[in-house]
Chain A
Amino acid sequence: MNSFEPFILILLPPIVATIVAILIICRKAAGMRPFPVHTSSKHHLVPRMICSAIGAIVLIAVGVVTWQEVQHCYISDDKGNTIVIHAPAKAIPPLPSVPKEAGPNGKVAINKTRLLCHLVIAELSPPGFRAIHAEEFEVQWPADRDKDFTKTFNLYGSKAAYSFTINSASSCQWKNRKMPTLELKGLKGGFRWERVIGRGSRSKGENSDFWASEHLCGPGTFNDPPNRLLSVAAGPSWNWHVFSFMTQVAEDDPLKEIPLAEFIRIRQDEMHRMAQRDIAMWRPFYQEVERIAGANRAFCPGFSLMVFIGISALFLLGAAIMISQVFSRRDRGLAFAGILTGVVLYVAVLDRMTLSIHLSHLTDPQAPLRDRLMACYQVPHTFFYRNKALREVEIIAKDPSIPEPLHNLARKTAILLKSG
């Protein structure tokens, strides 16, 4: 798709609306109405024009941010080799074991140890993980008991914060009726993870009770697809996972530097298991959301559209109100109805533009597999053009020459689009 075309699509409706508004005002000023024009409408012409200009700017901003958000999906910046983290250079010392005679709730306190905590943010991008970000902390137990380890950082223009605390360190035996006796060794504490996108939407993960063992893994947090502020397209962050690893290291370990890609490769199986567990955990929730959205789509399509647009719906509504100020008070109600119709059509145009970009990546045989998979993931996030998306995805699903992962994903996407 020519890169010039989307900008024409974005800019054209506000320009046409502004020209029409100016023509109406000029016509009024020339006294061509069948009834006299209010003098007050002339006096307030400048503030009204400013209001309408602000509304038009908001519409243009929504278009530009949507365009950027779609482009973010295809930024291929695997930071696996650029980020370097520390790892134990020596063998990991074992934690003390609970004696068998201690019983099902037996506990042995860990007196002194040194720990290395890694936060890894990675995207599940078949066949492996793509590194997005990493942070590391060194903890001295028991000196750092109840200490709040916090780091904030920027993640593709959004603010993210990660923190954890360790409250106790012990090995214990745990038993319940359904499971055999388990021995858990490690540290007890809490993880907190928060990502703030713009000023509005957030994604959070929290586990107030974790146990650390030799290769401790905290919870992987499955991110839902948040719409960025002023964007009507889903962002690329929907399949990011947050992993916490805590490793016990020897007191005299000098630690060695390794690339993040190497770190991920070592723990890949563990990360895959956790990511799949998170996806399975969240699937019923998303199915329920889809079901509710489907029901609402049948009963109240307007509400479904607002859910689709997200927080940006308020800005679009505000923009419609602002632009309608260009009309005199007596015409403002009808003008608002017309402009809101235009704004909904504008959202449809942006939706079409977003879908065109995704489809161009999906159907391009020269594009990298990661981009084609990402496009296939993003295609169902259309509100106004599901049938077109379904037609294109079905063609991909029937093509025997495409790679296996894309073929499987296209089949699943087609089923999803049909059910929606």
Chain B
Amino acid sequence: MTTTPFSQLQEPRRKAVKMIVPGEFANSARRSKACIWKGLLWHEWLAHRKLMTGTFMVWFLGVWVLQIASHPFWILILGVIYAVSAGQTFGGADVKEGSEEFSLSLPPTRAERYLVRLTLGMGTLLFFTVYGLLAIRLDLPQVAWGLFVDSGFTNPFPEIDLLHYAMAFAVPIVFFSFTFAGSALARIAKRVENVGSCSLAVLIILAALQKAWPWWWISWRTAGFTLCWALLGVSPVMLLFGYLAYVRKEGVSRPS
């Protein structure tokens, strides 16, 4: 049996190496960035698909099939539950598992990780809330059921004040922003859970505030719309703050 010298084994590989000329460098960098984004998206999907598909199932059955409640309040509840769960899961999964130091040592940068998780988490949340609210506002499930039946599931939903739609859109977004940024910046697993608890506490306070609102001072409708705008304005600020702090964050590797 003859053995091949080591130098000959290495030779073909050396020939295959392509020289990168300066003009092609930008294209190559863009391609590698796209690859990283694709890989990160795939990774996040595989890691958290149960949460997303489970919420999709509840949303689909509740909005389109059984029309559980013809009120934006139902989207608000589902949106807040998903926002708090997804914010913790997408933002603080590495911290919870105690593998953040290892994750941050991999080629994707902190900024890329943060943005990919934000895109997936916020994207799915927007899909559930916007599409769900549009379905209720425009009676889309009734239109779909109208293809097969002529009563029962085709009765239009009752008219509901626009404020409820605005609240159902704004509240889950601000909850997601707060939970996501807070979980991403957490340094121990316990703190990720605390962020979720704080979000739920804020929700209860908001609900109590709606009940005990001083009507004589300013109407709830005016205050509600102002609050929606304020919440929508605060959300990007929280996310930006989270981003700036996360890119400087030191990875932690403590067991949960």
Contact = CB atoms under 8 A, between A and B. Distances in A.
Interface of A: 297-305, 308, 330, 333-334, 336-337, 340-341, 344-345, 348, 382-388
A106 B75 CA distance: 69
B151 A300 contact: no
B124 to A, nearest CB: 14
B223 interface: no
B153 A337 contact: no
B69 A300 contact: yes
B207 interface: no
B57 A334 contact: yes
Contact of A301 (B61, B150, B153): B153
Nearest to A333: B57
A377 B201 CA distance: 54
Contacts of A334: 53, 56-57
Given A300-B67, A300-B70, A384 B151 contact: yes
Given A297-B152, A333-B54, 5 more contacts: A298-B158, A337-B60, A340-B61, A384-B152, A386-B151
B159 to A, nearest CB: 11
Contacts of B151: 382-387
B155 interface: yes
A348 B149 contact: yes
B19 interface: no
Interface string B142-160: 0000001111110101100
B236 to A, nearest CB: 32
Contact of B152 (A305, A330, A333, A340): A305
Contacts of A333: 50, 53-54, 56-57
B68 interface: yes
Contacts of A345: 148
A384 B150 contact: yes
Given A348-B148, A348-B149, A383-B151, A299 B69 contact: yes
A341 B67 CA distance: 12
A232 to B, nearest CB: 12
A384 B142 CA distance: 12
B1 interface: no
Contacts of A383: 151-152
A386 B67 contact: no
Nearest to A348: B149
Contacts of A348: 148-149
Nearest to A387: B150
Interface in B17-71: 49-50, 53-54, 56-57, 60-61, 64-71
Interface-central residue, A299, A301, A304, A384, by most chain B CB under 10 Å = A301
Contacts of B155: 297-298, 301
B56 A301 contact: no
Contact of A388 (B64, B66, B150): B150
Contacts of B66: 301-302, 305, 344
A384 B67 contact: no
